[in-house]
Chain A
Amino acid sequence: TQLLEQSPQFLSIQEGENLTVYCNSSSVFSSLQWYRQEPGEGPVLLVTVVTGGEVKKLKRLTFQFGDARKDSSLHITAAQPGDTGLYLCAGALETSGSRLTFGEGTQLTVNP
C-alpha cells in the first residue's frame, strides 16, 4: 500500500479543459511538494506547501494543502499541450524528518 495515494494515474484531456490531481494519505505531513517530470529529466519543483489549508497559485496551477495536512490537490485551469508531463506529489512525514515520500505520479497528456 502506497503511503501517498495519487489519482488519477493517467489523464488524457483536450486543450482548454480543467483538471484536478489528488494526493491522499492517512499520515500527517510537515510539508508537501509538487513536481513535474519530463522523460529523461529530473523532477522539477513546482511548489512547496507547509501550512494546513494553504492555497498557492502559480499562473494556471492552483495547489491546496488539506487542513489536516494529510492531503493535497493540484488544479490546472485551461490546460495546454505544454502542461503534458508526469506530475508527482511528495511529502515529508512528520515522523520521518526531511526525506520525501513520493506518490506514484499522474501522467497527464493534453491534446491540441
Chain B
Amino acid sequence: ETGVTQTPRHLVMGMTNKKSLKCEQHLGHNAMYWYKQSAKKPLELMFVYNFKEQTENNSVPSRFSPECPNSSHLFLHLHTLQPEDSALYLCASSQDLQGNTDTQYFGPGTRLTVL
C-alpha cells in the first residue's frame, strides 16, 4: 500500500546529530499521527495533528519536535537523541478526529538507530 509513505526507511545517527523524519499521505486525510514502537514494548502515541493543528503531545521529550506544514505532510525533527530513542517510528493518518468510524492508516515506519 502506498497511501502513507515515510522516508527514510532506515536511519542511523549519533547523539549530536540533527535529522528529520518525513511522512506523506495521499489519502486526503486531515489528521496525522506519530507513534514510537520500541522493541518488545507497546506502540506509543507521540503527537496528533488535526487540520495542521497539534491536538495531542503525549509527554514527549523536547528533543523530538513535530511539524505539520499542511494536512498531507508531517515531519519529526530529531536532535540530541539518546540511544534509548532507537525504535521504529510510525506515521499514520485518518480522515479527521470527529468521525465515529475513524480508521488509521499507517506508513511502513522509519527504523531509527541512535549510536
The finding on whether chains A and B are genuine partners in a shared complex, rather than unrelated, reads no
Chain B residues engaging chain A, CB cutoff 8 angstroms: none
Chain A residues engaging chain B, CB cutoff 8 angstroms: none
